[in-house]
């Protein structure tokens, strides 16, 4: 192989490697964007889970004190708002 032929061959290999690098960089950019999107979705789901857990914690059906105490609490609140409380 002459020096000119070797130079041509090396230029072809360099072009192929540059094309491969460009494809890999595009793939990496797509994967980074997908990762950011998934992270955002995870954060939103964790926020919503926290809200649901908070609602469940306030639900009298899940309370050890039972619904009667919840009724009494509602009546107390109604009484504070000027609604007649009957017992």
What is the model's pTM?
0.56
Residue 69 placed within a domain:
yes
Measured between alpha carbons, how far is 13 from 38 in angstroms, rounded to an integer? 37
- Tell me which H or E stretch contains 2: none
pLDDT at 69 over 70: no
Structural domains of the chain, count: 1
How far apart CA 70 and CA 80 sit, in angstroms, is 15
Residue 61 resides in a domain? yes
- What is the rounded distance in angstroms from the CA atom of residue 43 to the CA atom of residue 38? 9
59: region left, alpha or beta (phi > 0 left; psi from -120 to 50 alpha): beta
* Model confidence at 54: pLDDT above 90: yes
Structure confidence at residue 44 as a pLDDT band (50, 70, 90): very high
87 in a domain, yes or no?
no
- Does residue 71 lie in a domain region? yes
pLDDT of 80 > 70? The answer is no
Confidence of residue 34 (pLDDT cuts 50, 70, 90): very high
Instruction: Tell me the torsion sign for CA atoms 9, 13, 18, 23.
Output: positive
Domain of 35 in residue numbering reads as 3-80
The winner for highest mean pLDDT among 22-26, 57-61, 67-71, 80-84 is 22-26
């Amino acid at each position: 192989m002459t020096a000119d032929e070797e130079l041509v061959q090396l230029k072809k290999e360099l072009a192929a490697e540059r094309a491969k690098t460009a494809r890999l960089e595009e793939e990496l950019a797509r994967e980074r964007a997908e990762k950011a999107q998934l992270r955002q979705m995870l954060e939103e789901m964790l926020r919503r889970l926290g809200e649901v857990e908070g609602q469940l914690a306030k639900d009298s059906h899940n309370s050890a004190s039972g619904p009667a105490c919840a009724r009494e609490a509602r009546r107390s609140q109604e009484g504070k708002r000027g609604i007649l409380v009957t017992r």
